[in-house]
Amino acid sequence: MGVRTLGVAMNGVTGRMGYRQHLVRSVLAINEQGGVALSDGGRVVLEPILVGRDAAKLGDIAARHGIGEYTTDLDAALERCDVYFDSQITHARVKSVLKAIDAGKHVYAEKPTAETVAEAVALAAAASAKKVKNGVVQDKLFLPGLLKLKRLVDSGFFGRILSVRGEFGYWVFEGDWQEAQRPSWNYRAQDGGGIVLDMFPHWHYVMENLFGRVRSVYAQAVTHIPERVDERGDRYEATADDAAYGVFEIEGGIIAQINSSWAVRVNRDELVEFQVDGTHGSAVAGLRGCRAQHRALTPKPVWNPDLPATARFRDGWQEVPDNAEFDNGFKVQWERFVRHVVEDAPFPNDFASGARGVQLAELGLRSSAEGRRITVADL
């Protein structure tokens, strides 16, 4: 019992994800609530050490949040921490995480864990050889909408699940007459960008955790907007894919079709939605909401283009109740990882599952380049 501290070196805290979701909404929020509660009644408080390339920016963040330590020297940070966390640009991830593993530190990282399967598998192997705890961010599993969808799956509501259709995306401004709302490296393949590498790892763990192992992929990845304007106002060539249209076979014969696009305008209730159809019922889940329709309440539409549609199809769906309080998904996963490190609590979101996500991205890109469906082999 009692309170203990865990030193966490956080690399990439000047970035969008590192600052908002991981530092402010997770690590600092955990400390504000008095730490992570352990099973024996004890608590773990986190001591962040900010790491990055720009001392002035790190100093600003440290001062704003009363954080004692920051450095541009990764080695020095690794000497003083228990856990290394990486939310750098994807391209920079492997080198730093390997360094942390070599130093014998537990490692937690944003997705994708690497840009290639070979590197992602090497990371998983290195972590396992050094016997350090390892984890990858899989935040979408903790979204209220997907938790409610999982509840429906676990209850048997769907009967036999037939198909999943996912629609993800929104318009990312080109950067000329309105500033782009995503960093420019996302649109440069040479910097680890591309929507397949960004989103297929997410879709992989969502499919694997809700429906089953992914057995094959067919994808078409395209660059709809070939030129954009970066943070400094300079034009650049978009060398990475900004939309991907994927079809996945999941074990048990479930077909998932997921569109991902940064070049689509939203005509949905949420920025991502998954419709699941089963023999006994269907559901549509977004980030927060989830609506369902049981087989017994299914209307019988009749195709007749000569008449205007009068049925209000969406009125025949019921909201799935919350029945719980949902905390920030990034924070929930941080708490689980801390318990994994400190008291060996289970943590299935490890580097091996991260590598399977990278594998799906790599095979998706290969499928697109070769114009064929590709089997996903066990890693």
Ligand X SMILES: NC(=O)c1ccc[n+]([C@@H]2O[C@H](COP(=O)([O-])OP(=O)(O)OC[C@H]3O[C@@H](n4cnc5c(N)ncnc54)[C@H](O)[C@@H]3O)[C@@H](O)[C@H]2O)c1
Binding of ligand X by 18 (CB under 6 A):
yes
Among 48, 52, 175, 354, binds ligand X (CB under 6 A): 52
Site for ligand X in 341-370 (CB under 6 A): none
> Of the listed pieces 35-43, 87-95, 215-223, 225-233, which binds ligand X according to CB under 6 A?
87-95
Q: CB-wise, 90 or 349, nearer to ligand X?
A: 90
Question: 71 pairs with which residues across the strands?
Answer: 51
Task: Encode burial over 80-89: b for 16+ CB neighbours within 10 A, e otherwise.
Answer: ebbbbbbbbe
Among 82, 119, 198, 273, binds ligand X (CB under 6 A): 198
Binding of ligand X by 110 (CB under 6 A):
yes
- Residue type present at position 187: Y
CB 282 within 8 A of CB 273: no
**Both tokens of residue 222?**
């395209």
Binding of ligand X by 119 (CB under 6 A):
no
Binding of ligand X by 90 (CB under 6 A):
yes
Among 92, 162, 225, 374, binds ligand X (CB under 6 A): 92
Q: Reduced to 3 DSSP states, what percent helix, strand and coil does the chain have, rounded to the nearest 5?
A: 35, 25, 35
Among 82, 115, 119, 139, binds ligand X (CB under 6 A): 139
Total of chain residues touching ligand X, rule CB under 6 A? 20
Q: How many residues does the chain have?
A: 379
Q: CB-wise, 56 or 302, nearer to ligand X?
A: 56
Nearest to 84 by CA among 99, 70, 71, 72: 99
Binding of ligand X by 183 (CB under 6 A):
yes
Provide DSSP, 62-102. HHHHT--EEES-HHHHHHH-SEEEE-S-GGGHHHHHHHHHH
Q: CB-wise, 136 or 217, nearer to ligand X?
A: 136
Residues making contact with ligand X (CB under 6 A): 12, 14-18, 52-53, 87-90, 92, 110-111, 137, 139, 183, 185, 198
